Each structure stands twice: as C-alpha cells, then as structure tokens.
Amino acid sequence: MGQLQLWLAVLAVLSGIVAQEDLYRKVFVFRKDPSNAYVVLRAKLEQPLQNFTVCLRSYTDLTRPYSLFSYATKAQDNEILLLKPKPGEYRLYVGGKFVTFRVPEGGRDWEHVCASWESATGIAEFWLNGKPWPRKGLQRGYTVGVEAAVLLGQEQDAFGGGFDVYNSFSGELADVYLWDVGLSPDKMRAAYQSLRLPPAVLAWKSLSYEVKGDVVVKPRLREVLGP
C-alpha cells in the first residue's frame, strides 16, 4: 500500500467511513477491557438464511464472558450469536435459543472456530482448530432474518446497540467469514488452514467494515496455524 492509500485508509477509519480491503495477514486489535468499541460488517445478504456458517480466529486472555460475532435483526437481537461465556465453553445462538459446546480450556493461543446450522434438520455444528465437536439440535425449521446489523466485539441487546461492556471483546480477531450455506468438512478444515474458500457473504479478503471506537487494524504478529 502506498503512502497516499495508507493515509486515505486511516482517514476513512477515523471519519467513520466504510472501508473495504483485503485483510489477509492482518488483525483487528480491540485494545481496551472493558470497552464500548466494535466493528460493523456490511454483508451482502439478499434473502433470509436457511443455512449458514460463520468462522473466525481470536486471541485473548479474557476469562469473563465475551461476544465474538453478533448478527441481530429488529425482530431478534440474538439472531446469530457466537459467545464465549467462560473458558472451556462456547455458545451458538440461533433465533434467541442456544446450544453449548464444551471445549478444552485454551492455552493463551489463537483459537479458530467455525459454527454452522441448517434449518431443515436443526443440526448445529461446531469446529475448534479444524476439529469437529459432537453435533447438536437447534431451532429446526427456523429462518434467520435478512435485514441485519452484524457486529464484531459486542453483543447486541437491541438492533445495532444495547451493549453491556462486560460482554465486550478485548484482544485480536482475524479471518472472519460468513457463508449462506453449511460448509463441508473439507471446507471447515480449509478455513482453519487459511486455504482457498468458496465465495462468502462476508469474506476477510474483501471485507466491508466500519470501526466504531478503539479498534486498530495491525499486521499479524506471527502465523497462527497448527499442524
């Protein structure tokens, strides 16, 4: 990126203008704890979701509850929510109801998670660092609304707001994707390994976003992939 492009990107973030860029090998750094900061994502959604997959990578030393990915509509604030209520546990919400996936407590390292859901069967899948957890049932026959506010770093208790700072995220986030399909096992593993992925409604390599508050885009300090 040239000097002029860099300054334009900085000015865009400071002025609240929506940016679109390839964030490969970059991260969002949420600097404060607790915080009212968040990132708004602009998704290209054309119809209600019968299926979805959301993937992201996080790095934090928080032990309190925090929200990673929040997708709210005016009818339902927890339309899709990926929340970590405590070490060793993740929750996936669909339409205000949730299932819990219990995982080993992290070793203060990057964690890559993918969660998928399909309406026809109500099956929810959860993958941690490229490995699947036992599938669970959630909201069979439900449809996820399309006019959504999609945020990183805060849990919405109202459309686009209603935050509790003690559910805010502090740390680093990267490799955020949302698909309107359930990914196959091979693609789940590919997401963990940062390999070629199918077109997504939200893609880290062409992300439209707007920073709200104390969030900074920085280069990734090191590779985060395991074997």
The residues spanned by each domain of the chain are: 19-219
Mean pLDDT of the chain: 91
Portion of the chain with pLDDT greater than 90, in percent: 84
Preceding amide of 185 cis, omega within 30:
no
Output the pLDDT for position 18.
Answer: 75
Q: Kindly state the tokens that stand for 208.
A: 């439209």
Output the pLDDT for position 3.
Answer: 55
Output the pLDDT for position 222.
Answer: 76
Per-residue confidence band for 107, with pLDDT thresholds at 50, 70 and 90: confident
List of E strands, the chain: 19-21, 26-30, 38-41, 51-59, 66-72, 80-86, 89-94, 97-102, 111-118, 123-128, 131-132, 136-137, 149-152, 171-179, 207-212, 215-219
Q: Kindly state the tokens that stand for 153.
A: 């770093």
CATH tag, 19-219: 2.60.120.200
CA 45 to chain centre: 16
pTM of the model: 0.90
Instruction: Tell me the mean pLDDT in the region 72-77.
Output: 97
What single string gives the DSSP state of each residue in 66-99? EEEEEEE-SS-TTSEEEEEEETTEEEEEETTEEE
Tens digit of each residue's pLDDT (9 = 90 or more) over 183-223:
999 999 999 999 999 999 999 999 999 999 999 999 999 76
